[in-house]
Amino acid sequence: MAESTPQTGGTDPEQISNRAGDPVQEPDTDRTWLNKGIIGVGSASFFSDSGHELVTSLLPSFLTSTLHAGPAALGAIEGVSDALVGLSKLAGGPLSNEPSRRAKIASGGYLLTAVATALIGICTMVWQVGILRGIAWASRGVRSPARDTLLVSITPRAAYGRAAGLERAGDNAGAIAGPLLAGTLVGLIGIREAILLSFIPSIFAAVAITIAARHARNILSTPTGRQKLSFNLGELRRSGVAKALIPVSFFELGNLATTLLILRATELLTTEGREPAAAASLAIFFYAAHNGAATIASLAGGHLADHAGPRPVFAAGGTAYLGAYLLFGFGPPGWAPVLAGFLLAGIGIGFAETAEATTVALSLPDRLRGNGYGILGLIQSAGDLGATVTAGILWAAFSPTVAFTYAAAWMLASVISSSALHTRPAND
């Protein structure tokens, strides 16, 4: 879509600077919100997720069949990597507050993720895989607040939800493309070579985010000088965003890893009389449908958030997850209830993540958004890890029904408390 020429009447999507030095966003019509910078960010999420999901889907086989490691090694590598994502997102928040720095952090983060992920293909020892996976995931974490603040800086305020939805849709679509690429490549060239080729979509991601960064430099008037690195906790609390993150915390404490959904689906499909291999294959197919539903829900949720606010979108996401967990925990065996559970979970994550990002964008001025996105990322990573570990323990000690009831209780709490997602106008 062609970009509009800057106007002085206040209807252009480009930004100016206010006296405080924050880029100020002028109102815009729905017709002109989608610029090449926003498309660049969405494309970067798609290509990056395609690359690392390609490797993620092959990592279990690579560790067990090629490096002859066990499940414990995979669990340790993934656990440490997930922890690094949360901590690095928190650290990346203050770094991304300065407009002149965030583009470099985003571009460098995508490039380093691409290199570290692809190099896993030449590893001969498990510890080498662990180090490279950790570097890749830490780079993902640091770049995330920079990417998100960059996205908001080039988006009209009236379209924050749609921009967040487009970025999330790209990420979810990449989660479909990556495993499909992995399945195709491993049969043609082998596991190691397929992992090495993950560098190609990841490089496309680095190019796309660079285009977005160039677009931001062209349209923004940014202040000179360096900003002090700080978490700005006092200002965040006074902004009201801390209260808004309470229902987000409840949601993430019930947000189980999709691997548990796949495991439960395989059990339910097996009890219907299928062979374990056939049940596992069908469950993976349903997981692809889950990601497709998340892609569509992200786009739809962004439009709804711009027109009705992020609160009802978030509540709808929690409600969809609640329905999914009830089906996985109490539903009858059969492909239809299992598929419905996956689709509801996809809708839930698409709505909720879009609403969470939109809430931060609407509640905070540009100079604090990096901190807000960093804290949001930490809550997401820590909550997801805690939810999955706790549900796994309950599953092993009692039953999957108890595990999914536990997760459903947190989702219900997030829906009940969603009124806290009241967004104040950011002082841009």
pLDDT digits (tens, 9 = 90+) for 217-269: 877 655 545 566 555 666 666 666 778 889 999 999 999 888 788 888 888 88
- pLDDT, tens only, 104-150: 888 888 999 999 999 999 999 989 999 999 999 899 888 999 999 99
pLDDT number for residue 424: 60
The pLDDT of residue 354 is above 90: yes
**pLDDT band at 17; cut points 50, 70, 90:** very low
Mean pLDDT of 327-356: 93
Q: Phi and psi for 425 in degrees, rounded to 5?
A: -65, 125
Examine the pLDDT at 331 and tell me if it is beyond 50. Answer: yes
**What is the predicted pLDDT for the residue at 238?**
67
Gap between the Cα atoms of 424 and 157, Å rounded: 13
For 295, the token pair is 């892609």
Between CA 289 and CA 180 the distance in angstroms is: 13
Tell me the β-bridge partners of 24. Answer: 16
| Residue 370: DSSP 8-state | H
- Tokens linked to 388: 């999955």
**Mean pLDDT to the nearest integer, 357-380:** 87
User: CB-based contacts of 63: which residues, under 8 Å, 6+ apart?
Assistant: 69, 73, 74, 77, 126, 129
Single-letter amino acid code for the residue at 237: R
Which has the minimum average pLDDT: 89-103, 321-335, 353-367, 393-407? 89-103
Rounded Cα distance between 261 and 254, Å, is: 13
Q: Could you tell me if 351 and 317 are in contact, meaning their C-beta atoms sit under 8 angstroms apart?
A: yes
If residue 15 lies in a helix (H) or strand (E), which one and from where to where? strand 15-17
Instruction: State yes or no: pLDDT of 413 exceeds 90.
Output: yes
pLDDT over 70 (residue 1): no
The candidate with the shortest Cα–Cα distance to 371, out of 123, 146, 167, is 146
Cβ–Cβ < 8 Å for 290, 398: no
> Could you give the CA distance from residue 45 to residue 403 in angstroms, rounded to a whole number?
32
| pLDDT on residue 6 | 37
pLDDT band at 15 (very low <50, low <70, confident <90, very high): very low
> 166-170, 188-192, 229-233, 356-360: which has the minimum mean pLDDT?
229-233
Can you read off the two tokens belonging to residue 354? Answer: 């879009």
Domain 37-222 has CATH 1.20.1250.20: yes
CA dist 253 and 417 (Å) reads 14
C-alpha–C-alpha distance, residues 117 and 110, integer Å: 11
Q: Rounded to whole angstroms, how far apart are CA atoms 172 and 293?
A: 9
Structure confidence at residue 272 as a pLDDT band (50, 70, 90): confident
Q: Is 16 helix (H, G, I), strand (E, B) or coil?
A: strand
Only one residue has tokens 């490279």, namely 132
Q: What percent of the chain has pLDDT over 90?
A: 40
Main-chain dihedrals φ then ψ at residue 117, nearest 5 degrees: -65, -45
- Check residue 17 and report its DSSP letter: E
Question: For the chain, what percent of residues have pLDDT higher than 70?
Answer: 86
Mean predicted lDDT score pLDDT of the chain: 83
Is 230-422 in the same CATH topology as 37-222?
yes
Comparing 236 with 288, the larger pLDDT belongs to 288
Strands 15-17 and 23-25: antiparallel
pTM: 0.83
Stretch 23-33: mean pLDDT, rounded?
51
pLDDT at residue 304 tops 70: yes
**Size of the chain in residues:** 428
Place of tokens 């030095």: 21
24-33, 276-285, 410-419: which has the minimum mean pLDDT? 24-33
Which CATH number, 3.40.640.10, 3.40.50.150, 1.20.1250.20, 1.10.260.40, labels domain 230-422?
1.20.1250.20
Calpha distance 141→118 (Å, rounded): 18
Res 370: pLDDT: 84
Lookup: tokens for 286: 């349903």
Predicted local confidence at residue 252, as pLDDT: 93
Mean pLDDT of 25-44: 74
Segment 354-361 shows an average pLDDT of: 93
In the chain, where are the structural domains located?
37-222, 230-422
The pLDDT value recorded for residue 187 is: 82
